Structures are given as C-alpha cells and as structure tokens.
Structure 1
Amino acid sequence: MVLFRVSPNLLSATLLMALCVLSTALHGQSQDPQIPKHERIVPDPVQPKPFTTVVTRRTPMYTVEFRSEDQLTQHDRLLLADAEASIAEHAGFAGLEYQQSSWIYRQIVCPTFPNHLFLRYTRNNGTGDMSVFSASIPRNGEGRVRIVPILKRGYSLFSPAPINALTISAFNHIRAEEGETANSDWLGNALCYAALAGSQPQIRPPDAEPAVHKPIPSLTAVMDVETQTHGMQVLRFDDAAARPHPMEWSMTFTRQGKLIKATHRPASMMTVNPASQKPAVSRTWPVPQSGQN
C-alpha cells in the first residue's frame, strides 16, 4: 500500500480558496433583491374557544322562556317527582325553609342545555319578603340535582347571586354535565346564566323602535375574544327587561370552557327626548341573527 503525503502549504491554499468561494456566494445571495432577508411566517389564526362564531344558533329568540307549572311535559313531571327529595335537602341546607307551603315554580327553558330541566322556585310572603332559588335536574341521569340560592326573605344569600362563586360553580358543573352541546350557542349560555341567577333576561332586538322617554340599551350583545389574556372569551349583553332599570351582564370564560368571573351592573343607557333631533345611536356588535352565532 502506498501512502500519499499532502504538503501543508497546498492544504492551506485549498482551504483558503474554498472559503473565498463560499464568502463570494453568500455575499452575492444577500445582494439579490429577489430573495428576502428575513422570511416571515404568519401563524394560523387561533379559533375562538369554547364558543365559536360560525355555528347556527339553536333559537333566534333573544329571551329565556318561562313556562308555568301546568305547562310541564309528563316526562318532566316524573323527573321532578324523582328529584323532589334532593331539592328539599339542598334548599334546607341553604336555609330556604322549603318544607313550608306556598312555594310555586316555573320552568326555565334554555335550548342550549337540552339535557337539563331548570326550575325557578318562588315564595312570596308580601312586600320585601320573597324567597327565590333555581334548581337544575339532569335529564339523562348523568349529574346531580343542584340549586342556586337567590333570595331568602328579601335578602341575598352570601352575596348577590349573579356574581356569587356558588352560582358560578353550579353553572360550571352544569356545563360539564351537558358536554359539548353547551358550547353551541354563546348567547344562549349568557341568557341562561342570567336566568339561573334570578333574572328573566330579554335583549331588545337591534331594530327595536325607541319611544319618547323610553330608555334603550346602548349595547345589545357581544362576544369579545381577549387574545392578550390567553384567548379568554367575554360574553356581554344588556338585559332590557330588568327592573327597576336595565342591567349589563358580563361573563368571562377560559378556552377550556370554565366560567371564572361574572359581573352584573346597571347598563349604560340613552334616553330619546321629544326635542332631540338626533337619531338614536347604538354601539356596534348587534345580536347575532338566526344562521349566525
């Protein structure tokens, strides 16, 4: 076998030539105006969660329907009879004196939660002496009976129900029991939460005609996606039917579908006066029409 020895000078010259060629090629490439210096990659848009904006709403209504006791279906009557003992037990723990007579109830119809029967219980002992609570009964047997205390003899239990941590916790459990169906309608979630917390929410349609001295909401309904806070979604609407004045509701959800905050305060209002020549003004974000969400 013959061994070849390479001169050190020759090796150094070869490496120097290779480096010159590479440097020239890179310099020429950087001067080429057709090749961008920095390639910018635009990430795919992040889809909003837990609520989407493209799914058709389950109902075009902007209110939550309340039905009287005699309007319950036979199936719901049987469901309520089975849950009566649990409702009495939970109401007793909250000190609501459920065993006493004169309680009446109405059904809260929330199409977004078809797997639950919601009821509003009321006992009116006269001016300033009213007790109210909501009850949730799972229809498919997956879950448990829950109540949301609202008023005890005219006073809020713990803190006002719309912002109470117990109300928020009960609603999160209901959503978890309902499954993915609960995410089908963001406005339906907002309205149902308000109903369970003691309101009978009604949103004035965007084309409602203002009347003299009749206040109208400056905001109808909106879903904001707060990208700066990990994509949390904030649902807001003005309850035009609240008394003694319209109320603004706000609910903040994480992308995992958990409600973490709820607020309830007087809505920002405008009044149309007879002498005014200015048209009624409404902020943007109208209530989604049927076919939108």
Structure 2
Amino acid sequence: MVSIRKLVHALALLAVISLLVAAPTNAAQDGLISASVAGDLPRVKSLLAANADVDAKGLDGSTALIAASFAGHLEVVQTLLAAKADVNAKALDGSTALIAASFAGHLEVVQTLLAAKADVNAKALDGGTALMGAAGSGHVEVVRALLAANADVNAKDNHGMTALMMGASTPIYVRGDERARGHLEVVQNLLAAKADVNAKDANGCTALFRASQLDVVQALLAAKADVKANVGGFTALSVASARGDQKVVQALLAADADVNAKGLDGSTTALIGASSAGHLEVVQTLLAANADVNAKLLATGETAISLATKRDFVEIVQLLKAAACTPNK
C-alpha cells in the first residue's frame, strides 16, 4: 500500500523540484538539478563538462541523481553515475536515489543504481526503505529486483511498518479504488522471501489487520497469519466487519476466527461493529456463524441492536430481533 506519509512526501518532492526548475538560486548548481529532473540529457552533459558539482544539493537536499531517479530518466542517471555522483547521497528527509526510484517504480533506474552499489537497505528519516516504497506502491518487478539484491524483507520503519504490511494495505483515503487496494503479487513475493507474516507495527497490528482485498487476505492466511491476534480488543475479523468487507469476513471465519472475540476491556465485537456501521450482509454472515447477539460494550452497555436502532438501520434491527437479541435500554 502507498502510505499517507509516503504519498505526501512524493507530492512535496515534486513541489520542491518545480520550485527548483522555476526559480534556481545558483545557475550551475540548480541548473544541473533542473536539467536532470527534466530529462534534458544534452544540458546535463554540458553542465558536467563545465565542471558543475555533480553532488550539489537543492532546497530539499536532493541531488541531481535523486531528482533524475525519481523522474525515471535512465540516461541522465547513467550519465551522472559516470560523472561519479554519490549513489547513496541523501535528501533532507533521508531519501536516496534508490528509495526515490523504487517508490516511483522505475525498474531500469533501480537496476542501474543497484549495479552502482546503492545501499539497498538505506533508510529515510521515517525509517522507510526502498523495498517498503516499492511494495506500498505495488511495483512488483522493483520488489523482485530489490529482494534479489538482498533487501531486508523484515525491516521496519519508525512506525513498525514492514514492506509486507505496506503491500497488503488498502489506504482509507482510496477505499473503492481497486487500483489502490492491496497488491497480491507484491505480497506473494515478500512471503516467498520469508517476510514475517505476523510481524506487528507500533500499534500491534499485523498485515492481516490491514488487508481488505480477498486474495491478499487468502495469501496471508495460507502463510499462517494469526487469525486470532487481538489488539486492544480488535481482531482482523472485527476490523473487516466494521469495514463491511463481507468476503473477507467469510474467509476469516472459514479460517477459524473467533466470531465473538473482544478485548479484556470489553471492547466491540465483530457483530457490534458491523451492526453499528450498517453492513447488513456482514451481520447476516456473523449471525450464521453464531455471533452473540447480546454481547455488550463494557463502557456503555450498548448492544448491536441498540446501536443499529440509534442509527436507524431498520433491516439490521429486524434481523437482530429475529435472532432473539434483547435491546439494551
């Protein structure tokens, strides 16, 4: 999955590059960067021949190599490397040319940088690596190239996120866009490279918690993802139920997920989450799996039916009543 912070970083990088192109502060220094991001190979060669500093940095700390790598200009990248550009130079946010190219999905640029001894496991300031960027963006060929170069498949960023979590995730802000959902081939390649399927992020969530695409969920389950993992009262089943992902709910139940799981603090069950969110088909599926219709929230004493009633989900209320649920009053 593309994480929000990485998307913001990408947009910020593009904005800074635009500023560099529009308003250079040093003709030789910024000219090389702007020519590189524009893919203007003749000008890049001319500036290098005039002894422009190949490793000069722009406003965000990016070098010409980082800018060209992010933009995907292979010949410019090759020319800069031939001029002894520092392949592992970092921008202010810690991004390297390899991280930038991997996030953007430029396979040939990635291969060229790796051949030039780019550090495959270099980390940005947020702890992100090239593999995480490629996985979250769904660039499976880049993922394969990085894994072949011994990228650390279980590295974590500052939030405890791994490449597998990023590849399996569906960002909330792109819900409904099938192109932005979890990336099956990426997940399969990471699992084949022995990614830890039950690794937990800083909040205790695993890749299974984050996945909402059925085939991705099935791949994680086949790799022995812990279907019963409980984080603060939430399980993969309760999260999928609250989202309304019926097929995922069915897959998790088939994998022996606990339909009535709740935390020690008496937090929500899958049925309460689905009922309060108005997901009728999920409610039907959970009831068929013997969900406890009388389970209560410890903090408020509310049940699935009282919450559905409060939100005017008439069909769900009728369904729960038929299942002999007693309203909480």
Shorter-chain TM-score bucket reads under 0.3
Larger strand fraction of residues:
1
For the pair shown, the structure with the greater C-alpha radius of gyration is: 1
Q: TM-score, normalised by structure 2?
A: 0.24
Bigger relative contact order, structure 1 or 2, given CA contacts below 8 A and separation 6+? 1
Q: TM-score, normalised by structure 1?
A: 0.26
Larger helix fraction of residues:
2
